[in-house]
A and B are shown apart, each in its own frame.
Chain A
Amino acid sequence: MKRKNTGGNILTALTFIFLYAPIIVLIVFSFNSSKSRTIWSGFTLDWYRELFRDSLIMSSLETTLLVSVLAALAAAVIGTFAAIGFYNMKKHWRSPLLMINNIPVINADIITGVSLSLLFVSAGVVIGFELGFGTLLIAHITFDIPYVILSVMPKLYQLDRNLFEAAQDLGCTWFQTIYKVIIPEIMPGIINGLLIAFTMSVDDFVISYFTAGSSVQTLSMAIYAMTRKRISPKINAISTLLFTVVLILLVIVNVRESRQQRKADLKREQMPEEV
């Protein structure tokens, strides 16, 4: 079915121009010496310098990283155990629980955010606390866990059903089975889920916006505040930096993956036949 598909390829090319042109403009103007977003007036790195001096942005970056790391780690732990628990449940228990698990993934972010803020505000009135880092962290953990479960569950199902029994057969108690065998076996899925959860947290704006309160600000929230006030090439500078970081990460991941792939292929070729 590999046919010439000129029309489709042209459309694909145009789509890429559409996808990337705004980003490229954004990047180019991060080096613009004037404040204008449209007229080029010379090269400068001033905006980057200013960016790093901007304590509001730097502290919001800190908040973002802190909440993302903590939320992803917590989600990885809770999510992995939850996935193992779900895996061992009968279907008529598992299915509805997984459905609830999927709610934050499927639901519109704004509803997740708004509903959590309702909970935090009303609980806050009763118990006596205010929206802040704690509520932000809980919100992030809540929407991170489903991603961990979604990436761990398939790994569990790929396991040989007998693996649990094999471990017990060789003398493991149930808990030893989990930490000596099952968790190491599904580790790639856990790591994967952790990374997805982390990026989801870094990227989130809407849910943070409703659950962080006024005292804490994530990077996304800072950017939002800046775009509302408009005009500051510092935004372009942040974009460029984030874009570069993401690009480098993706390249590393891809190179690693294809190298592993190649290694695996090689191994398979060299594999000795039967003894």
Chain B
Amino acid sequence: MSKELIRLIDCRKEFDGEVVLDSINLDIKDKEFLTLLGPSGCGKTTTLRIIGGFLKPDSGKVIFDGVKINDVPPHKRKINTVFQKYALFTHLNVFENIAFGLRIQKPRLSEREITRRVHEALELVALKGYEKRSVSQLSGGQQQRIAIARAIVNRPQVLLLDEPLGALDLKLRKDMQRELKRIQQQVGITFVYVTHDQEEALTMSDTVVVMNKGEIQQIGTPVDIYNEPKNAFVADFIGESNIIDGIMVSDNTVRMYGRDFPCLDKGFAPNEPVDVVVRPEDIDIVPVELGQITGTVTDVTFKGMQYDIIVDFQGFKWLIQTTDHSPVGAKIGVKIDPDGFHIMKKSEYSGLYGDYSSYSSEYDELSAAPDEGGAEDE
């Protein structure tokens, strides 16, 4: 799992003068499950299409297994794709859909070999016995599986998946996430997965690549990305974050609201201005007199497992997730353990995210719609 199978070197792509990919550098290792994550228009699908061969980068190199493949057309790449809306051939039945790629192959495969491999693929996606069905008869989830079988049957070294679960409902999506992970482990090939759903990315991936505005913001394991976001964009896009202006007084001490808090971060210049990330679940509510800082509750939403509480700390609103109920208007104190802080260098995204002033549960639902940022999808 260490060899680099695909390398994108300084890949740049413009559409009608608009930069969609700005000099991307990305290494994809063999047999890993890598997810390109970002809001719509961030360049993740463009990256995928460059790997698939459907787009050529304006500049930069695409390396596959040590060979430059910029000019290799899609049908000559050992890469297959599962498309967003499946793109199944409605004039063919399930068997012929899956056999399609095998029948194109030169030298020709024997009919017996084709049958064997189609059955194998159907078994892999748990749709044995569906050979004769017409694809338009299948439900969305089944069509999805056929699309996967159709791609995998060609034994590609890499499978590209372009928001394959976007069209499915929530419950089905969760099942398919597990299913996809299982399939990936079973066939042991590289998956490159595109999604705007951060939860999907965190559950399935070995590596997550967070993208925005045509640039890679951060590459890392799901745990790294969640715990150590590199900038305000990543912190906000992955989960919920309160992002506060702070000053790194010295190693292990950060100052906000004119008060010093102990933290575990170090390596900043003395008195360097920083962004401080505090996850809503890392905040303990305590009586006012015990709190490190105090604020007023302005909004409470019951979320089933917890309450989402909006607390006003001197004009800046925080989101706190807690199991204790506090009424609106209550004065509360909060306490944050040193490992609850994550300190980030200032970036172009500083000040844009992490304030919950405009928070409302309605807003939450609105932005959970597909094609939106999806950061609030939880």
Contacts and interface: CB of A to CB of B under 8 A. Distances in A.
A162 interface: yes
Given A168-B75, A274-B172, A275-B127, A187 B84 contact: no
Contacts of B127: 275
A166 B81 CA distance: 7
B171 to A, nearest CB: 9
| Of A162, A170, A171, A272, most B-chain CB atoms within 10 Å | A170
B52 A169 contact: yes
B273 interface: no
B85 A169 contact: no
A274 B91 CA distance: 22
A31 B339 CA distance: 101
A180 B74 CA distance: 17
Contact of B139 (A169, A171, A271): A271
9 contacts: A162-B85, A166-B83, A166-B88, A167-B100, A168-B75, A169-B52, A169-B151, A170-B150, A184-B92
B193 interface: no
A181 B89 CA distance: 7
Interface centre among B52, B74, B142, B175 (most CB of A within 10 A): B74
Interface of A is mostly: helix
Interface in B126-152: 126-127, 137-139, 141-142, 150-151
Contacts of B54: 165, 168
A274 B104 contact: no
Sorting the interface of chain B by its residue count into under 10, 10 to 19, 20 to 34 or 35 or more gives 20 to 34
Contact of B84 (A162, A176, A184): A162
Nearest to A188: B91
B41 interface: no
B150 A162 contact: no
B75 A169 contact: yes
A89 B355 CA distance: 46
Contacts of B137: 267, 271
Contacts of A267: 137
A162 B74 CA distance: 13
Nearest to B154: A170
Which bracket fits the contact residues of A?
20 to 34
Interface in A261-275: 267, 271-275
A199 B367 CA distance: 52
Contacts of B138: 271
B2 interface: no
Given A274-B139, A274-B172, A169 B80 contact: yes
Contacts of B126: 275
B358 interface: no
Nearest to A160: B87
B69 to A, nearest CB: 14
B90 interface: yes
A275 B142 contact: yes
A185 B150 CA distance: 18
A45 B276 CA distance: 99
A240 to B, nearest CB: 40
Interface string A150-168: 0000000000101101111
A173 interface: yes
Given A170-B154, A185-B90, A160 B81 contact: no
B47 to A, nearest CB: 15
B101 interface: yes
B73 A168 contact: yes
Contacts of B151: 169-170
A162 B104 contact: no
Contacts of A274: 139, 141-142, 172, 175
A166 B135 CA distance: 15
Interface in A220-270: 267
B105 A163 contact: no
A172 B104 contact: yes
Given A170-B75, A274-B141, A275-B126, A163 B89 contact: yes
Given A166-B83, A169-B74, A176 B104 contact: yes
Nearest to A264: B136
Most buried by A among B54, B75, B80, B92: B75
Contact of A160 (B83, B100, B141): B83
B200 to A, nearest CB: 19
B75 A173 contact: yes
B87 A163 contact: yes
Nearest to B76: A171
A55 to B, nearest CB: 45
A273 B79 CA distance: 31
